Amino acid sequence: EPEVTQTPSHQVTQMGQEVILRCVPISNHLYFYWYRQILGQKVEFLVSFYNNEISEKSEIFDDQFSVERPDGSNFTLKIRSTKLEDSAMYFCASSEGLGYNEQFFGPGTRLTVL
Amino acid sequence: GNSVTQMEGPVTLSEEAFLTINCTYTATGYPSLFWYVQYPGEGLQLLLKATKADDKGSNKGFEATYRKETTSFHLEKGSVQVSDSAVYFCALRNTGANSKLTFGKGITLSVRP
- Tell me which residue of A31, A27, A36 sits closest to A5, measured CA to CA: A27
Task: Give the pLDDT of residue B97.
Answer: 55
Mutation to test the B interface, candidates A34, A35, A43, A51, most B Cβ within 10 Å: A43
Q: What confidence tens digit (pLDDT) does each residue in B7-57 have? A: 888 999 999 999 999 999 999 888 999 999 999 878 889 999 999 999 999
pLDDT of A44 above 90: yes
Residues from chain B that touch A108, judged by Cβ atoms under 8 A, are: 43
Task: Give the pLDDT of residue B106.
Answer: 93
How far, CA to CA in Å, does B53 sit from each of B15, B49, B61, B89, B104?
Answer: 32, 12, 21, 20, 19
- Tell me which residue of A80, A73, A25 sits closest to A48, measured CA to CA: A25
* B112 pLDDT tier (thresholds 50, 70, 90): very high
Task: Give the pLDDT of residue A79.
Answer: 97
Distance CA A74, CA A72 (A): 6
From B65's Cα to the closest Cα of chain A, the distance in A is: 18
* A67 pLDDT tier (thresholds 50, 70, 90): very high
Beta-sheet pairing, B44-50 with B101-103: unpaired
- The 10 Å Cβ neighbour count of residue B28 is 9
Residue A45 to residue B101, Cβ atoms within 8 A: yes
Q: What confidence tens digit (pLDDT) does each residue in A72-108 have? A: 789 999 999 999 999 999 999 999 875 567 889 999 9
Beta-sheet pairing, A10-13 with A31-37: unpaired
Question: What is the residue-averaged pLDDT of chain A?
Answer: 92
Residues 6+ apart with CB under 8 A from A76: A20, A21, A22, A23, A67, A68, A69, A70
Residue A101 to residue B97, Cβ atoms within 8 A: yes
Q: Residues A14-36: what's their mean pLDDT?
A: 95
Residues from chain A that touch B9, judged by Cβ atoms under 8 A, are: none
Q: Which helix (H) or strand (E) holds A20?
A: strand A19-24
Question: How far is the first Cα of chain B from the last one, in angstroms, to the nearest whole number?
Answer: 41
From B98's Cα to the closest Cα of chain A, the distance in A is: 6
Distance CA A6, CA A92 (A): 7
